């Protein structure tokens, strides 16, 4: 660090700005960190009286941006940003730090020069709102900030007579918690806010064990504000003006934003969730793009083929006509699991916006960074304030949101235990509609006589993909007793060749589970199965890696179909091998579960389809099926959830149906009177 300097100046005699510059040098590459602070000096006469055009100002929104940074000696008429000393840079939205509005950014110097005088062109906006949350005044200022570095290679302070460069005492780098206190995490009514709760979410990389970020969580009052904003937006003329075509355009622009940022989002998923990079690009980020574009088409077409449907004439007691109208359900609380944070978010957000609903999103604490990044992209869409809102936090935030009386629908993805609580909270709060996509313990039946070799790769990868953290994972493998030995030999050979390790590597096929705590829990359940007579017949244990929460793909045998490990969703790369004697027995075992989300059958097509028809599951693939298609419903039976996502059925969940009826003749007495 070579020194910290700032200069104070006024823009429009309204606010004092200070630019703090920190220069570091690593391997002859210079980095400049800039912090921009804003403190009120005095307000214009209208603002001082707290009225504008006769209306009382009750709220203000500040926006601050660094338009350009450059070397003053290089600034001449006709200079373009490409010729400047710095890359073009902009600050994120500011947050309050005490009574100071602060923005921060770090940029890499393009040139190796160690002496320069730097300047920045600053744009500042202050919006004033009345008690109806209407803008009553917008004040804009543009000005210049300047900083002056020390002499080259000198750590001495400037002379006392130098009034243009005031040295600051050296400061230490902010801690993660201090960074969280000034990093926005809550998005309400079209603006970013710092989480107002004292609780923090610490994001730890599952692959390295290092702390990635500390995030300030939303307060319960911010949850209330988010719901109020969403409800106001739902009834607002601005959002009501978005017809099917306009909503479709929003969804397509969302898809374009995600696609344009695929690599950055994929790398973030790798860091936060631990998904291997190939999976992150294809499923974690690629699939949401397809889903959004499908929902865009559905927004134009409407549910069940249209937003309005005429019924046949009815003549009891008089001839009458009726029409059914499908209208958006209202405010949707969308709670998203960590394992596919962007994918699952889009399943909910896509349907909500396509239908005309508004939303409040609560991500899993273990998927919060990805969700904040997505909202940062969607902030560029210019949606009416309140259409999409984001709160972050733990169970208290979830309980406040799902039990809020102004929430009309709760869409939740997660465990069946938490899902049951969510459904109860929604019922007690506002008797809100609940759509729950919960756990699974999918059976994978390999019919007698089926050639085993082609089934091995899909069988193993379907329970080990994403480290087994998927509700549709084929974690119960049913093999005819005459083929068990052959299956074990082939599966062992395949699993031994799987690359388990750093999810950043293009070669990795199995990454870590989400946390050390979860890994330890899974290991405890495996040990319990072994203690009860089970046997790890393939894989098991941990890979030889110094850091991270890794588990090797594991196959366990020797347990009964009703053993807890054969009926518990582990969310880990662990499968149970269950031999069977007859196809009827295999079907009975497959259906012997509290879940009913997914299943698969390998075998001759006709035979496999016949078995699929007898399985109690929301989705059954035959011979591996194909990809997750957005036009097919997803959901299950029993403790796998309530309702559906995706497909016509999933889209219909976001609507209420209204029956409008009128007589075709004169108004008469009501029936029965």
The answer to whether residues 470 and 514 touch, using CB atoms and an 8 Å cutoff, is: no
Q: Is 437 a catalytic residue?
A: yes
**Closest to 120 (Cα-Cα) out of 284, 9, 268, 3:** 9
- Rounded distance, CA 456 to CA 641, Å? 29
- Rounded distance, CA 553 to CA 530, Å? 16
Q: How many Å separate Cα 626 from the centre of its chain?
A: 25
- Rounded distance, CA 287 to CA 269, Å? 14
- Rounded distance, CA 360 to CA 328, Å? 15
**Which of 471, 569, 645, 653 is labelled catalytic?**
471
Q: Is 357 a catalytic residue?
A: no
DSSP state of 513: -
- Rounded distance, CA 17 to CA 33, Å? 16
**Which of 7, 272, 437, 569 is labelled catalytic?**
437
Contacts of 655 (CB under 8 A, 6+ apart): 303, 326, 327, 328, 329, 355
- Rounded distance, CA 81 to CA 69, Å? 9
**Closest to 272 (Cα-Cα) out of 362, 207, 325:** 207
Give one DSSP letter per residue of 85-152, joined into a string.
SB--------EEETTEEEEEEEEEBSS--S---EEEEEEEEEEEE-TTS-EEEEEEEEEEEEE-PPST
The answer to whether residues 364 and 391 touch, using CB atoms and an 8 Å cutoff, is: no
Could you list the beta-strand ranges (E) of 466-539.
Answer: 476-480, 535-539
**Closest to 603 (Cα-Cα) out of 484, 478, 441, 489:** 478
**Angstrom distances, CA of residue 240 to CA of 193, 290, 387, 568:** 26, 26, 11, 45
- Rounded distance, CA 352 to CA 239, Å? 13
DSSP state of 160: T
Q: 216 by DSSP, 3-state: which?
A: strand
- Rounded distance, CA 515 to CA 523, Å? 12
**Angstrom distances, CA of residue 421 to CA of 26, 310, 400, 515, 668:** 52, 39, 12, 24, 48
DSSP state of 165: -
- Rounded distance, CA 45 to CA 330, Å? 42
Alpha helices (H) in 163-286, listed in sequence order:
176-180, 220-235, 237-240, 244-260, 262-273, 277-279
**Closest to 554 (Cα-Cα) out of 639, 494, 464:** 464
Which amino acids are annotated catalytic?
437, 471
């Amino acid at each position: 660090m070579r020194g910290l300097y700032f200069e104070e100046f006024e823009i429009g005699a309204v606010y004092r700005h200070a630019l703090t510059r920190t220069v570091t040098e690593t391997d002859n590459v210079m980095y400049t960190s800039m912090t921009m602070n804003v403190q009120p000096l005095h307000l214009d006469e209208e603002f001082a009286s707290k009225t504008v055009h006769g209306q009382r100002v009750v709220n203000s929104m500040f926006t601050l941006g660094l338009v350009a940074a450059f070397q003053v000696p290089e600034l001449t008429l006709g200079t373009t940003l490409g010729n400047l000393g710095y890359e073009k840079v902009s600050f994120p939205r500011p947050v309050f730090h005490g009574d100071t509005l602060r923005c921060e950014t770090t940029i890499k110097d393009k040139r190796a020069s160690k002496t320069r005088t730097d300047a920045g062109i600053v744009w500042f906006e202050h919006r004033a709102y009345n008690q109806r949350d209407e803008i009553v005044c917008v004040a804009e200022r543009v000005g210049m900030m300047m900083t002056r570095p020390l002499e080259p290679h000198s750590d001495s302070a400037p002379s006392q007579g130098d009034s243009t460069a005031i040295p600051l005492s050296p400061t230490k780098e902010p801690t993660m918690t201090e960074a969280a206190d000034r990093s926005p995490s809550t998005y309400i009514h079209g603006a970013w806010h710092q989480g107002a709760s004292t609780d923090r979410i610490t994001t730890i990389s599952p692959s390295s064990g290092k702390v990635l970020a500390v995030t300030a969580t939303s307060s319960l009052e911010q949850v209330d504000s988010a719901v109020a904003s969403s409800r106001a937006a739902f009834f607002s003329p601005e959002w009501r003006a978005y017809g099917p075509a306009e909503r479709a355009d929003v969804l397509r622009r969302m898809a374009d934003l995600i696609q344009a940022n695929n690599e950055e989002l994929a790398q973030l998923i790798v860091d936060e969730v631990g998904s291997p990079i190939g999976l992150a690009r294809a499923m974690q980020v690629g699939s949401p793009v397809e889903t959004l574009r499908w929902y865009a088409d559905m927004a134009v077409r409407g549910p069940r083929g249209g937003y309005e449907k005429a019924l046949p004439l009815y003549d009891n007691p008089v001839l009458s006509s009726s029409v059914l109208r499908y209208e958006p359900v209202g405010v949707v609380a969308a709670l998203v699991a960590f394992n596919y944070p962007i994918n699952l978010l889009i399943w909910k957000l896509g349907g909500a916006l396509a239908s005309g609903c508004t939303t409040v999103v609560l991500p899993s604490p273990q998927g919060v960074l990805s969700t904040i990044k997505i909202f940062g992209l969607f902030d560029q869409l210019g949606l009416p304030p309140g259409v999409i809102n984001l709160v972050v936090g733990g169970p208290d935030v979830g309980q406040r949101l799902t039990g809020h009386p102004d929430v009309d629908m709760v869409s939740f993805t997660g465990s069946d235990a938490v899902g049951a609580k969510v459904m109860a909270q929604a019922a007690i709060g506002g008797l809100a509609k609940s759509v729950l996509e919960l756990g699974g313990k999918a059976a994978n039946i390999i019919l007698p006589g089926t050639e085993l070799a082609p089934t091995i790769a899909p069988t193993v990868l379907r329970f080990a993909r994403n480290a087994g953290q998927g509700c549709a994972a084929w974690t119960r493998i049913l093999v005819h007793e005459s083929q068990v030995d052959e299956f074990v030999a082939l599966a062992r050979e395949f699993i031994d060749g799987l690359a388990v390790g750093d999810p950043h590597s293009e070669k990795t096929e199995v990454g870590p589970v989400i946390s050390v705590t979860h890994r330890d829990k899974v290991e405890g359940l495996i040990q319990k199965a072994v203690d009860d007579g089970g046997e790890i017949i393939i894989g098991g244990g941990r890979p030889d890696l110094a850091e991270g929460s890794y588990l090797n793909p594991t196959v366990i045998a020797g347990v009964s179909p009703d053993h807890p490990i054969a009926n518990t969703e582990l969310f880990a790369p662990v499968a149970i091998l269950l031999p069977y004697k007859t196809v009827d027995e295999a079907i009975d075992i497959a259906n012997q579960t509290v879940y009913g989300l997914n299943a698969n059958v390998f075998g001759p097509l006709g035979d496999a389809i016949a078995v699929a028809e007898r399985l109690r599951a929301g989705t059954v693939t035959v011979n591996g099926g194909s990809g997750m298609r957005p036009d097919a419903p997803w959901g299950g039976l029993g403790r796998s959830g309530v309702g559906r996502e995706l497909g016509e059925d999933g889209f219909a969940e976001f609507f209420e149906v209204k029956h409008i009826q009128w007589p075709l003749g004169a108004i008469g007495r009501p029936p029965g009177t």
